[in-house]
Amino acid sequence: MENTIRIHNTLSGKKELLIPIEPGHVKIYVCGITSYDYCHIGHARSTLVFDMVVKYLRHRGYNVTFVRNFTDIDDKIIARAAEQHTTPHELAERFIKEFYTDMDGLGADRPTFEPRATENVQEMIQLIAELVEQGKAYPAGGDVYYAVESFSGYGKLSGRNLEDMRAGARIAVNEQKKNPLDFVLWKQTKPGEPSWESPWGPGRPGWHIECSAMSRKYLGETFDIHGGGQDLIFPHHENEIAQSEGANHKPFANMWIHHGFVTIKDEKMSKSLGNFLTIRDVREHYDPEVLRFFVFSTQYRNPLDFSETALKEASSGLERLYHTAADCDALASRPVSKTGKSAINDKVWQRMKTLENRFLEAMDNDFNTAQAQGIFFDTSKSLGKALRSLPETPLASDVQKIGDCMDKMRKLATVMGLLQEDPAIWLKARESERAAGIKISKEEIETKIKERLAARIAKDWAKSDEIRDHLLHLGIVLKDNANSTTWSPK
Partner RNA sequence: GGCGACGUGGCCAAGUGGUUAAGGCAACGGUCUGCAAAACCGUUAUUCAUCGGUUCGACUCCGAUCGUCGCCUCCA
Q: Which of residues 293-332 bind RNA (CB under 7 A)?
A: 297-299, 301-305, 309-310, 312-313, 316-317, 319-320, 323-324, 327
Q: Is 46 in the site for RNA (CB under 7 A)?
A: yes
- Please identify which residue in 82, 96, 171, 336 interacts with RNA, judged by CB under 7 A: 171
Phi/psi at 300 (5° precision):
-60, -20
Cα–Cα distance measured from residue 260 to residue 41, given in angstroms and rounded to the nearest whole number: 12
Q: Do 215 and 109 meet the contact criterion of CB atoms below 8 Å apart?
A: no
Q: Identify which range of 137-145, 257-265, 282-290, 443-451 contacts RNA by CB under 7 A.
A: 257-265
Q: Give the number of other CB atoms < 10 A from CB of residue 220.
A: 14
Q: Tell me which residues in 331-370 interact with RNA (CB under 7 A).
A: 362, 365-366, 368, 370
Please report, as residue ranges, which positions from 128 to 157 form the binding site for RNA (by CB under 7 A): none
Size of the site for RNA (CB under 7 A): 87
| Distance in Å, CB of 335 to RNA, minimum | 21
* Residue 207 in contact with RNA, rule: CB under 7 A: yes
The residue among 269 and 413 lying less far from RNA, judged by its C-beta, is: 269
3-class state of residue 446 by DSSP: helix
CA terminus-to-terminus distance, the chain:
51
If the CB atoms of residues 205 and 235 are measured against RNA, the closer one turns out to be: 235
Alpha-carbon distance of 76 to 91, in angstroms, equals: 11
Binding RNA (rule: CB under 7 A), the pick from 23, 135, 159, 199 is 159
Which span sits near RNA by CB under 7 A: 95-103, 188-196, 217-225, 258-266? 258-266
Query: Closest CB to RNA among 21 and 438?
Result: 438
Residue 340: CB minimum distance to RNA, A = 22
Evaluate whether 139 touches 236 at the Cβ level (below 8 Å): no
**Shortest gap between Cβ of 294 and RNA (angstroms)?**
9
Our finding on whether 118 is near RNA (CB under 7 A) is no
User: Burial letters for 179-206: b for 16+ Cβ neighbours within 10 Å, e otherwise?
Assistant: bebbbbbbbbbeeebbbbebebeebbbb
Residue 483 near RNA by CB under 7 A: no
CB of 249 to RNA, least distance (A): 26
Give whole-number Cα distances, 306 to 41, 267, 269, in Å.
Answer: 9, 10, 9
Asked whether the bond before 20 is cis by omega within 30 degrees of 0, the reply is no
Q: How many CB atoms lie within 10 A of CB 489?
A: 16
Which of 229, 288, 394, 417 touches RNA by CB under 7 A?
229
Alpha-carbon distance of 200 to 129, in angstroms, equals: 9
